[in-house]
Amino acid sequence: MKFAPPQDRGAPDRTKGGSTAPGKVPATIAGHLRILVLGEPGIVREGLCALLAGRTEFVVVATESDPEDAVRTAVRARADIAILDFAQWPHHGVKTLAALKRKCPQARVLVLSSRTDARTIEAALRAGADGYLLKSDGGDELFSALRRIGQGESYLSASLDADFIAPTAPAPQPLAGGATAPAELTSRERQVIRLIAAGHRTREIAQLLSLSHKTIEKHRSTLMRKLGLRNASAVAAYATAHGYVDS
């Protein structure tokens, strides 16, 4: 485990490789997202830290190579977002992710993976991932994902085909001719799900539909409960798979 050095609020220290005594928590840095990088030491982890070091809006407060210590490190480092490298923890990724969401609920989790199969993506979303990014994605998309997640939203890599449905979603009912029907939604909920799938935030949806933020939040929660979905990434995938989004 490595903690970043305490940093001055006005001028964050971006010196690579600094550390304090084990267990010492860095000072809170107002206005910055505190990032914890989870994965084995090596090129990938060093590359992530180097990318983030070049952006003043992010601060890598700790790294962790031991899955067993990941949750404790997240708590002690007061991380806003944990970047979890699934590829480096193939047998611990989902377990660690679930433990993070259960024991450190204030921390958002961005999964980093090279896997594009529905099974892996669904497992990550089901365990509570707030975002899923591919290792082939660029730095700009990483920054976008972290910003969105830091604002309480969800993120799914733009490189992925949204052709899967979260496994907790109710099975669609068969219609004549072998077609399937999505879960029953109101006309307003259908409007909201389309806008979520198009990437609009709750505040933007409220403005577009001339409704209050609270009302949109209620519609969003209701439709997600009806569909058995946990986050916006799963909503977007469901919306595409069931024809709510124009191809």
The reported pLDDT for the residue numbered 194 is 84
On the CB side of 202, how many CA atoms lie within 13 Å of its CA? 17
Cα 130 to Cα 19, 209, 230: the distances in Å are 28, 26, 9
In one-letter notation, the amino acid at residue 88 is: Q
DSSP state at residue 67: G
- By CB atoms closer than 10 A (0-12, 13-18, 19+), residue 222 is middle
pLDDT value, residue 183: 55
| % of the chain beyond a pLDDT of 90 | 15
More confidently predicted of 65 and 118: 65
CA 146, distance to chain mean position in Å, is 8
For 20-51, write each residue's pLDDT tens digit. Answer: 333 333 333 446 899 999 988 888 888 899 99
Q: Assign 157 a pLDDT band (cuts: 50, 70, 90).
A: confident
Q: Which residues contact 38 (CB under 8 A, 6 or more apart)?
A: 63, 64, 67, 70, 82, 83, 84, 85, 89, 96
Strands (E) in the chain, as ranges, are: 2-3, 33-38, 58-64, 81-85, 108-113, 131-134, 155-156, 173-174, 180-181
**Contact partners, residue 188, CB within 8 Å, separation at least 6:** 209, 219
Q: Is the pLDDT of residue 164 over 60?
A: no
Question: Nearest to residue 156, comparing CAs of 241, 75, 55?
Answer: 241
- Sorted by where each starts, the structural domains of the chain and their CATH numbers stand as 2-156 (3.40.50.2300), 173-241 (1.10.10.10)
Give me Rg for the CA atoms of the chain: 19
Rounded-to-integer distance, Cα 31 and Cα 69, Å:
27
Q: What is the pLDDT of residue 98?
A: 86
Which pLDDT score, from 0 to 100, does residue 23 have? 38
* pLDDT exceeds 90 at position 154: no
Read off the pTM. Answer: 0.57
Helix axes 232-241, 213-227, angle to 10 degrees: 60
What mean pLDDT is reported for the chain? 75
